[in-house]
Amino acid sequence: MNLPVGKLKHDFLKELLPTSDSNTGVVVGPQLGEDAAVIEFGDNYLVATSDPITFATEDIGWYVVCVNSNDIAAMGAVPKWLLVTLLLPEDTTTPEMVRDIMTQLTQACETFDIALCGGHTEVTPAVTQPVVIGQMMGVAAKESLFTSADARVGDALILTKGLGIEATAIIAREREEQVREKYDALFLEQAKHYLVDPGISVLKDAQIAIATGGVHAMHDVTEGGITTAVFELATAAELGTVVYSDKLLGSPALYSNITRTLCDMFGLNPLGVISSGAMLIAAAPEKGETICQTLGEAGINAGIIGKFLPSERGMSLEDATGTRQPLPVFQADEIAKLL
């Protein structure tokens, strides 16, 4: 049986991950729900991650810097160094295309003060579109490290920016002609601009939340969407959770009209679309509103969308009437239906 498009199923992936702790110095190894590995590094921790860009074809250099640095930020670390593997399709790769991607990479690294320090480039028949894979490293003070496993029962579950930010930009760019047929140029440009406004970076979100205090854990929202990320965070912490659907789907601040329009147009469930730019935060309940307010003062939408429960309570999605259903988990991102 062939595997479907998307991330490996969580149960299957868990079978594959090594359980040995024989690697001296590895503080956080490969685990479901953790955004990066953590390694002893003198008086600090070295935090390392790797992520590819496979859905987008336009501005992939910007994507790879943001997506990888988000994983570093979610651990409370500062992203420092990036290596990139760039795989390019034969027959359609031009010097101009490669120069454009490298310009995107260097400009994004300059924006976030990250050093592009190596990698590999190759034209290969193994891919049909450009694929860029990043490996990023950062540094965290030992007292400043956050892991998904640190979420606690009773914690407020906060979401920054909202649903489908990355999906909005990808749809507008990859399905531009279809969108243009139904909506005006302003709508299209606004949707494409989601890449930078509200943007797919969560570095600022993490920094502000940490400085406000009360943060116990953070998790970057990527492939599989919001509810899949909640599942991963709760699984890492061995907790249950409830997510309030009206706080998500009923909130114009967290589910914009532009994102709603595009998801409706292409029949995509907004809970399962790729959502880089959003950060999940598990915070002490008494600090939840303060964190949201502080983020809002900095121009970053944020809201409490749920809370963490004892593991025996399970994971659920609750509507405005109080009716609960199992929390939906998307093994294949909804946007894969388009690509």
Examine the domain organization and report whether 160 and 197 are in the same domain: yes
Q: What is the pLDDT of residue 23?
A: 65
Q: What is the pLDDT of residue 8?
A: 84
119, 144, 169 - which closes a domain: 144
Decide if 5 is inside a domain. no
Examine the domain organization and report whether 308 and 182 are in the same domain: yes
Q: Domain holding 219: CATH number?
A: 3.90.650.10
Examine the domain organization and report whether 62 and 127 are in the same domain: yes
Decide if 2 is inside a domain. no
Examine the domain organization and report whether 16 and 33 are in the same domain: yes
Decide if 4 is inside a domain. no
Decide if 1 is inside a domain. no
Tell me which residue range forms the domain holding 182.
Answer: 148-337
Examine the domain organization and report whether 286 and 176 are in the same domain: yes
The Cα 334–Cα 270 span in angstroms is 8
How many domains does the chain divide into? 2
Q: What is the pLDDT of residue 55?
A: 84
Decide if 81 is inside a domain. yes
Examine the domain organization and report whether 109 and 258 are in the same domain: no
Examine the domain organization and report whether 211 and 280 are in the same domain: yes
Decide if 253 is inside a domain. yes
List the pLDDT tens digit at each of the 339 positions of the chain. 888 887 888 888 888 888 766 667 899 988 888 889 999 999 999 999 999 998 888 899 999 999 999 999 999 999 999 999 999 999 999 999 999 999 999 999 999 999 999 999 999 999 999 999 999 999 999 999 999 999 999 999 999 999 999 999 999 999 999 999 999 999 999 999 999 999 999 999 999 999 999 999 999 999 999 999 999 999 999 999 999 999 999 999 999 999 999 999 999 999 999 999 999 999 999 999 999 999 999 999 999 999 999 999 999 999 999 999 999 999 899 999 997
127, 144, 161 - which closes a domain: 144
Q: Domain holding 22: CATH number?
A: 3.30.1330.10
Examine the domain organization and report whether 139 and 173 are in the same domain: no
Examine the domain organization and report whether 110 and 228 are in the same domain: no
110, 144, 178 - which closes a domain: 144
Examine the domain organization and report whether 139 and 266 are in the same domain: no
In this prediction the pTM is 0.93
Decide if 300 is inside a domain. yes
Q: What is the pLDDT of residue 22?
A: 62
Examine the domain organization and report whether 27 and 113 are in the same domain: yes
Examine the domain organization and report whether 200 and 102 are in the same domain: no
Decide if 119 is inside a domain. yes
